[in-house]
Amino acid sequence: MVVITGASQGIGAAIAQAFARETRGVRLALVARNEKNLRRVAAACATLGADADAFVCDVADEASVATMSAAVKKRFRRVDVLVNNAGSFEGGSFSETTSAQFDRLIATNVRSVFLVTKAFLPDMIARRSGDIFNMSSIAGLQAYPSGVAYCAAKFAVTGLSKGLREELKPHGVRVCCVHPGATFTPSWHEAGFPAERMMPAEDVARLFVDVYRLTRRTVVEEIVLRPQLGDI
C-alpha cells in the first residue's frame, strides 16, 4: 500500500499512475489539498487497476496530518511505501525574501516530511519493513542565487533523509532521497521554457517503482536526475 503526498498534479500524479500501471492491484492513498484534482488522479489510477482513494490534507498542518493518517489507516490498515512528494517553490533573492515566504517554504517542503513520516513510521518499524521516499531537488545539493530559501528547505530535506536513514537501518525501513532537476510539470508551464529542455514527469515517476522493486537487501540512498541538455 502506497501513500503519496502532493499527488494532485505533476510528479506526484505521475508517481501514482506509475504504481497503478506497473504494480498489479496496488492500493493508493493520494494526499493533497486540491480535492478536485486529487479525485481526478484517483479515478485515472482506478482505470489502471489500482484501488485508489483521495485524502484531502494540508501536510504542513499537524492536526490535518493526524486526521488524514487516521483515515488512511482505517481505509487501508497498513502502509508499505510513503512518498513525501509535497512541496512548493518561491524564488527571489535573500534580501527580497520575506519571513512569511521563508516560513511557507520550510513548512511545505520540510515540516510536511517530518509530520507525515512521524504519522506512518511507527507501524513500519513495528513490522520491520517499509520504504520512505523524500523528494528533495538539485537545489538540495547545489545552491544557486535567487533561490536561497528554497535551497535551504531542500538542503534540510536532504539532511533529514540522511539522518533518518541512519536511524532506520536496524529496523528494516529504507529511506531514499530523490534529487530531480528541471521537470515539466504545471509549475513550469507559465515559465516559457520549452518542454524539450526538461525531463518528463513520467521518467522521474518510473524510478520510484523500480527502486521499490529491489530486494530488501539493497537500498538506493540517493538519486540525482538531470535533463540531458542540462538544467535550465
| pLDDT tens per residue across span 146-170 | 999 999 999 999 999 999 999 999 9
| pLDDT tens per residue across span 103-123 | 999 999 999 999 999 999 999
pLDDT of residue 189: 58
What is the pTM for the complete model shown? 0.94
Mean pLDDT of 182-204: 77
Interior angle at CA 95, CA 188 and CA 135, nearest 5? 40
Residue 201 has pLDDT above 70, yes or no: yes
pLDDT of residue 188: 60
Cβ neighbors of 221 (< 8 A, separation 6 or more) are: 165, 175, 176, 177
Alpha helices, DSSP H, located in the chain: 10-22, 35-47, 62-76, 99-106, 112-127, 148-168, 201-212
| pLDDT tens per residue across span 51-110 | 999 999 999 999 999 999 999 999 999 999 999 999 999 888 999 999 999 999 999 999
- In the chain, what are the domains? 2-225 (3.40.50.720)
Higher-pLDDT residue of 184 and 1 is 1
Residue 146 near residue 92 (C-beta atoms within 8 A): yes
Residue 83 near residue 3 (C-beta atoms within 8 A): yes
The rounded distance, in Å, linking the Cα atoms of 131 and 209 is 11
